[in-house]
Amino acid sequence: MARLNLFQKTMRVWDASMPYNAVHAVRVPGALDRGKLRAAICEALEGCGFPCRAEDLVLEDRREGERPEMILEESVVAELGRRFDGPDGNLPFRFFVIPEEDGRFILGLCYRHLVASGDSICWLLGDIILFYTGQGEEARSPDARKAAPRGWAVLARHWRYLPGWAATLPRHLTQSQEYARLTRRHQPGARSRARVVAIPAEGMDWIEAARKRSGATFHDVLLALVLIAIADAVPGRFGHRRRKKIAVGSVVNIRHCCGPKFAGRFGLFLSLFAVSHPVPEGAAVDEVLSSIRKQTAEIKRRRLYLRNLFYLAAALAWRRFLSPARADGLYAKSFPLAASVTSFSVDRVWGKQAGPAVDDYWRGVSASPATPLVLSCTTHDGAAKVIVSWDDSVYTERDIDAFLQTFSGQMTPAHSPS
């Protein structure tokens, strides 16, 4: 594997504590031909620069059933919790198929997350479908033979933002000391669990109305919904003198910050930021959303998500002086996040007109010592699929039931922004 950037090094640390993978899956119209699919996968991987022999490719058959989404959920849980063993040079991908009774099938791709961000995998999965359907000449073939840029190189490219980063640093440090800590922390042996759900059409209409009324983005609305939904799982903030706010992280793609030569390169181009709110009991969605919109507007204007690469570097350096147990608790203590949100538009990556023909697209990410719950929302052709993953040593099944009920329950006319 080529040299790692700051976020990749951080993911490698998380992976040592609990498997840190990601899964993308698509529903493909048309009959399943396993030999043809295996050949298409190898051809797409070769095009991206990953040497692939058909006999080395992991393509597992999952059972056929009446409820393929349930089988998909079981598959996601299995893949997120299954480590990629062997040296870094081994193929960091596994594939699975779920045949459906109506003649379609679901193709799943699990990968070691530190090798790529979602856009690279979306390109790769799109290429596989194009080769499978005989349209290989349209494959994008993102190049994995060269590394993604180092974090320091990205920071140097945006040196003009340094004064703003320095000016807001004291406030950033003060704010992080206001983040409420969770009752439970990551424990050795913890695993990622997952639920696969969908945002119904009326829910998407509600989000669109909320977005337009507030001037917020789709992602802002998700952040507000997650803050409200996770609030009951963070009860300790009410009795704490200082740590009274719930913090939710957000992973952001920074490929656009890296320069034109990285536009079509396969790799990981990520950073992160956090937003927070006290979420008092009975807090209205529009109240929380207004605060989130202001926070994210400043973060984007000052590109504070790039400044947070310094935090990743500092955390990596500080871990060297800590025992393994204390190192795993570093994030929960110094920068406690109750959850994290990642949203992804397939149409933006593939293009609304020229993308491969698939009926549905799902995407999920492992939980980590830093992000004990991750809501991954993927939109494609007007539909939104959600995979919620969580660290089972931090959150219980009952916590997740309550979270999902509140999350979906907010998207009703009764909770429409005023």
Note whether 276 and 248 are within 8 A (CB).
yes
The 10s digit of each residue's pLDDT in 15-38 is 988 999 999 999 999 899 999 999
Separation between Cα atoms, residue 103 and residue 145, nearest integer Å: 37
Are 383 and 198 in contact by the 8 Å Cβ rule? The answer is: yes
In this structure, what CATH number is given to the domain that contains residue 58?
A: 3.30.559.10
Whether residues 157 and 80 fall in one domain: no
Last residue of a domain, one of 138, 170, 197: 138
Please check whether residue 22 lies inside any domain of the structure. yes
- Check whether residue 191 and residue 106 sit in a common domain: no
Residue pair 384/202 in contact (Cβ under 8 Å)? The answer is no
Which residues touch 300 (CB under 8 Å, ≥6 apart)?
none
Write the CA distances from 102 to 61, 68, 267, 380, integer angstroms: 17, 11, 36, 21
Does residue 228 contact residue 283 with C-beta atoms inside 8 Å?
yes
Q: What percent of the chain has pLDDT over 70?
A: 95
Q: Return the beta strands (E) in 200-268 as ranges.
A: 246-253
The residue among 138, 165, 197 that closes a domain is: 138
Q: For the chain, how many structural domains are there in total?
A: 2
Q: What is the DSSP letter of 61?
A: E
pLDDT of residue 366: 98
pLDDT at 414: 65
Last-in-domain residue among 79, 106, 138:
138
DSSP-derived 3-state class of residue 55? helix
| pLDDT for position 109 | 98
Does 279 lie in the same domain as 396? Answer: yes
Closest to 41 measured CA to CA, from 26, 59, 23: 59
Structural domain for 109, as ranges: 6-138
Backbone angles phi, psi at 247, to 5 degrees: -110, 135
- Residue from 166, 97, 87, 177 nearest 129 by CA: 97
pLDDT tens per residue, the chain (418 residues)?
A: 567 888 999 999 999 889 999 999 999 998 999 999 999 999 999 988 888 877 778 899 987 667 899 999 999 999 999 999 865 557 899 999 999 988 899 999 999 999 999 999 999 999 999 999 998 888 888 877 676 777 777 888 888 988 988 988 888 888 889 999 888 888 888 999 999 999 999 999 999 999 999 999 999 999 999 999 999 998 877 777 788 899 999 999 999 998 888 888 899 999 999 999 999 988 999 999 999 999 999 999 999 999 988 888 888 898 888 887 788 778 778 889 999 999 999 999 988 655 688 999 999 999 999 999 999 999 999 999 999 999 999 999 999 999 999 999 999 876 665 5
Question: Does residue 387 sit in the same domain as residue 240?
Answer: yes
**Domain identity same for 105 and 188:** no
pLDDT in tens, 68-99: 999 999 999 999 999 998 655 578 999 999 99
Q: What is the pLDDT of residue 353?
A: 52
Degrees (nearest 5) of the Cα angle 1, 187, 3? 15
Q: What is the CA radius of gyration of the chain?
A: 21
Q: What is the pLDDT of residue 355?
A: 66
Burial level of 397, CB count in 10 A (0-12/13-18/19+)?
exposed
Burial grade of 306 (CB within 10 A; 0-12, 13-18, 19 or more): buried
d(CA 129, CA 248): 35
